[in-house]
Amino acid sequence: MSALALSMVVGIVKLDIIGIQPANAQLNSSRNISQKVYDKIPDFPRENQYRSRDTGKVATDNTLVSRMIRYHYYQKGRAPNYRFDWKLTLADYLGANEVMYDSYYPGQDGLRKNPLAGVRKAIKKLSRKERNIFMQTLVDLLSGNQ
């Protein structure tokens, strides 16, 4: 019996046999990954000036990158370690792909003001080169390449 068939028998799918590495473990903390992005790209917009609905304090750990990761992976169900999927997500933010709804955007439920409009402005200000560097950094981090 092949390793894949054996894995299926016991209820575990071994995706790495066909070259797809599950990245769920790396997504255990979008804040952790986002901090690594900001370490590598310190000038990348944070968009973290919004106030917590619960405490009224500025939620500095609720950043553009952490919300984008949550949107990309949890809302859209896109693979976190493929550059093309990140291009689709950026296209969503730029209004060139799928419609993004304010009421479902990450952070809208925990922040006093929905951050989507500010995030979109920040992303539109980025050059193509800056967006490409950002996407590659995310892919590298989520693929375990950095």
Per-residue pLDDT of 13-27, as tens digits, reads 333 333 444 444 445
What integer pLDDT is reported at residue 144 of this predicted model? Answer: 84
Residues with Cβ within 8 Å of residue 78, at least 6 apart in sequence? 72, 85, 86, 88, 89
Please tell me the pTM assigned to this model. Answer: 0.80
What integer pLDDT is reported at residue 70 of this predicted model? Answer: 95
What integer pLDDT is reported at residue 28 of this predicted model? Answer: 54
- Of 16, 112, 98, the C-alpha closest to 62 is 112
Alpha-carbon torsion (124, 125, 127, 131), positive or negative: negative
Render pLDDT for 30-40 as a digit per residue (tens, 0 to 9).
Answer: 779 999 999 99
What integer pLDDT is reported at residue 30 of this predicted model? Answer: 79
Q: Where are the domains of the chain?
A: 22-143
Residues with Cβ within 8 Å of residue 24, at least 6 apart in sequence? none
Q: Which residues of the chain have pLDDT under 50?
A: 1-26
